[in-house]
Amino acid sequence: MKKTTTTLTPLALKDAPALIETVFPAQKVSFEAQQERTSVQSQTLTGLGSYWKGRKPLILVRAILLASLLPPTENAQADLALFEKLMAFDDEGLARRAVISNAVSPAEIAARIQLDKPWDYFKAKIRRGDVTAGDIRWMSFPLDVDAKGISLRWERSLSDDDKLVIYRKLLATYTSYEEKAGVGKRPEELDQDWLYSPVWPEVNRHYAHLGINVQSLPELVEQLGILRYGHRPRVGDTFSGGGSIPFEAARIGCDAYASDLNPIACMLTWGDANIIGASSSRREIISQGQSALADAVDQRINELGIEHDADGNRAKAYLWCLEARCPETGWMVPLSSTWTVSKARNVIARLLPDFKNKRFDIEIVSGASKAEMSAAEKGTVQDGDMVYALDGKTYRTTIKTLRGDFRQADGATGNRLRRWEKHDFKPHPGDIFQERLYAVQWISKETLNAGRQETWFAAPTDADLKGEQRIDQLVAESLNRWQKKGLVPDMAIEPGDKTDEPIRTRGWTHWHHLFSPRQLLVAALVHEQIQAMPPDLQPALSLSLAKMLDWSSKLCRYGTGAARESIAQTFYNQAYNTNYFYGVRSFVTGKNYLFLTDAASSISGSLIVKNKEASNLQHDAELWITDPPYADAVNYHEIAEFFIAWLRKNPPKPFDDWVWDSRRALAVKGSGEDFRHGMVAAYKAMADHMPDNGMQCVMFTHQDTAVWGDLIGIFWAAGLQVVAAWYIATETTSELKKGGYVQGTVILMLKKRAAGERTGFKQRLLPAVRQEVARQIETMMHLNDTVEASHGEPVWGDSDLQMAGYAAALKVLTAYTRIGDEDVTAFALRPRNKGEVTVVDEIVQQAAETASSLLVPEGLTADTWGRLTGIERFVLRMMDMETAGVAKLDNYQNFAKAFRVTDYTRVMGDMRPNNARLKRVSEYASRDLTDGTEIGSTRLGQLIIALQQLLKDTEAQVIVEQLRAEMADFLEARTLLVDMLTFIERKTTETEVRFAAEVLGARLKNLRFGE
């Protein structure tokens, strides 16, 4: 691309605020972030290893970076519009994304848009005999093609630019941003030059006064960096994890610095830059190296003859289960929660008693009947018990009994499982849990290399079992040598929150115990071959090994889905889940995981990766963007040890400079005093390596309200002041976050606190906080109204406005160096007593309440809103959000906290993250509405009872008299009741309740005082 010329004044924006301090389209960023998170395989970075679950969406990182560099002008609406163009959130960008997606059929387009000359764009095919070419010539859109007896396809000669005419019209028929964006590709999936070609003239006009003249995003980033800092922006992340923050920073043209205490995180971040971000020629070399690795190991496997039968068919998967002796009968019983092998092909495993040897043979039955399939669903492990039938009698023993669980003197649980030793790789004959091969999935030799393979399941033959014995012999002979060379782990499993599980449930004490003999053999061969490859390929191939290991351990569940069978990855969630039955891939299928990713995305800046703790910092940056590991359920240091155990000996360059240990003691994690000290050290180091006009962005998922107080203290002690906060919803219903976790991300923006001492007192801080909250929300609501009037949608939702309340409080608070008599650094670092409510907690809560009091739901008067209790406000607020279709579980959690609701779950009808909703009026039970419940003791609770009575045909006048008798202030409260009933009438989804609310409201409104 030809370099544009421009005249810039370095540091002209040195003291200018950033756009993100006042404007950020959080709702659109939220939707785009969710789209990226749910796109699974098409995500750019996960192909390197999806075992790192905490990557922040790249689109979110891009939005933060651009909004931190762009300056605001006097026209906030124009600033917002231009920012959305740069993010491809505008109508033109959405149309281009939709063209490339091609997800809307011509028939649907024809039905939605007006078009006089459709045959310039589409070809019609006649499907009915009564339609002629002459008939088609006069047809125009909108058009029901099925009714007209034709089908449509695009005119083949059309370019993407030609199709834009149609897609602009199509998107104009959609009413919401979600609909428009939902039919398009994600911005990063498009050719960036084509996507942004209409944007640059507008950017250059908008910022002409600054001398900006650009034709690409990296050029814009560099020029903004010169204007702000005198050079290209430097972006740092000292908790880099999977590397999405530094990768995206480098991709859009920043010079990025990434560091992490964890070497696995560093390896992934290195891979982001040096594999995904590599040149096309370099990626081809890596791809050839992966193929050479797979071919070399495949040859070794074939030479060993451990994956083929006598006819030349090759194994695809081996199914294993545990086996234990029943203490009641002495029989060895195979353990599995299901004996279904394949739902798609009606294959089951059937237990056949062997009375002579007191064990069960396992028969593989194909073409099982519906009744047999149903019976096989229930395995021999049910509800934590071993369950089986023999001679018509059912025997049941708890797994805890089999293990011999007992309570130790210190209160911890122990058991009788033998602890495996370093040289072990399979159970001893006397161990409680044995391991048994019970089925093999075979691929016919004729279809081995075909696109569609012919496969079948069979019970293992004597030859198969001898093959397993051959593998056992090879591992027994080689394990000590492999461990000394670092080809196989010799590292002990350190007890921990997650790592206790394999120790407790299986007696495994070393990391190689998590792998079957076959898996150990294959992994050792792969690792050995990597060390024989050219040195420049070894780091990339180390990522290949790590990815393969994630998909090849005894923790890989075997699944029997309706569509097909599958073997899950080890880290399908964030724990070490041991299985009663599991799948072992053969190398012919397992080698696929050596191939990392086809994703390619060139980076325009630079990316340096260091394996250091966050506080040990030698690099400067203007923007520090971090997603630190606090209040987090993910124990990455423990998860990483699974991989560290394999890679720690003789790592290739540049990995050999890193410390191949999780360094648990140094990891910043969890909460409490150590956490706060570690965080203060990290953020002070970043502040010290940031210019006075630099900025920090801290992302966190706020599951714990106490974290807010901790964060304020941390930022105080680090010399930082909050300048803005935004809320990004990234909620999904994935396996990762079952149990109703909040998955919204809070974006906090911070700058260095002004020099000098400032002392604040509680009685003065509270009014100042309330004033700042009101100012912030009123400013945002004004822009909301302006944008909604122009474009039909507001910029922010209630969650964003509520977050502005927190931001305003933090902005006021973090400007001070002392609160009363206490230095804020001392406050930040002192231990907190359980249940202690500090002045900071009080002020933050006041800010939340102030913000919430300003957010009067549409349809209620401000006077009514001001007179409601917390639970009443919560229910009515969420009814309003449900009507608008924007309520998700985290909204309920956030507003429950803001309104000080004791237990919001008592008024919830559904608690699933993406299906969360309140109870309907008709769903409340009598016990929900007693005086002893939070809602039952309120006027709203009494109204719900009244509406339920009206639905049961109780006379309205009788209900009014009951309300009058039960409410001492009935006459004063009457207008409040009428206002709430009118609101319920408008917002309820229940037709009968709407009618009842109208009737009761009218009766109360027209009630004469003399009645």
- The closest alpha carbon to 148, from 159, 160, 157, 140, belongs to 140
Spatial separation of the C-alpha atoms in residues 91 and 167, rounded to whole Å? 10
- pLDDT above 60: residue 977: yes
Q: What residues are paired with 360 via a beta bridge?
A: 353
Q: Which two tokens stand for residue 164?
A: 């834009």
Window from 74-83, 418-427, 823-832 with minimum mean pLDDT: 823-832
Assign 739 a pLDDT band (cuts: 50, 70, 90). very low
| Predicted pLDDT at 669 | 67
- Average of per-residue pLDDT across 222-243: 97
SS (H, E, C) 837-863: CCHHHHHHHHHHHHHHHHCCCCCCCHH
- Average of per-residue pLDDT across 11-25: 95
Identify whether the C-beta of residue 812 lies closer than 8 Å to the C-beta of residue 723. no
More reliable by pLDDT, 204 or 965: 204
Q: Name the strands in the sheet holding 255-259, side by side, starting at the edge strand that comes first in the sequence.
A: 606-610, 255-259, 234-237, 623-626, 695-700, 744-752, 720-729
pLDDT digits over 745-773, tens only?
888 899 999 888 888 787 788 888 888 88
At 891, give phi and psi (nearest 5°): -60, -45
| Predicted pLDDT at 783 | 78
Assign 737 a pLDDT band (cuts: 50, 70, 90). very low
Spatial separation of the C-alpha atoms in residues 66 and 496, rounded to whole Å? 40
Identify whether the C-beta of residue 744 lies closer than 8 Å to the C-beta of residue 891. no
| Predicted pLDDT at 782 | 77
Identify whether the C-beta of residue 216 lies closer than 8 Å to the C-beta of residue 245. no
Q: Which amino acid, residue 974?
A: R
pLDDT digits over 500-558, tens only?
999 999 999 999 999 999 999 999 999 999 999 999 999 999 999 999 999 999 999 99
- Longest Cα separation, the chain: 101
Where does 428-577 show beta strands of DSSP type E? 434-443, 455-458, 558-560, 565-567
H helix and E strand count, the chain = 36, 29
Angle at 137 between CA 132 and CA 142, to 5 degrees: 110
pLDDT digits over 640-661, tens only?
999 999 999 999 999 999 999 9
| Predicted pLDDT at 5 | 56
| Predicted pLDDT at 4 | 52
Spatial separation of the C-alpha atoms in residues 262 and 260, rounded to whole Å? 5
- Average of per-residue pLDDT across 675-686: 89
pLDDT digits over 350-394, tens only?
999 999 999 999 999 999 999 999 999 999 999 999 999 999 999
Assign 664 a pLDDT band (cuts: 50, 70, 90). confident
- Average of per-residue pLDDT across 315-326: 97
Q: Can you tell me which residue has the tokens 């076959």?
A: 518
Percentage of the chain modeled with pLDDT above 70: 96
| Predicted pLDDT at 68 | 98
- Average pLDDT over the chain, rounded to whole? 90
Q: Which amino acid, residue 507?
A: G
SS3 611: coil
| Predicted pLDDT at 55 | 87
- Average of per-residue pLDDT across 334-340: 97
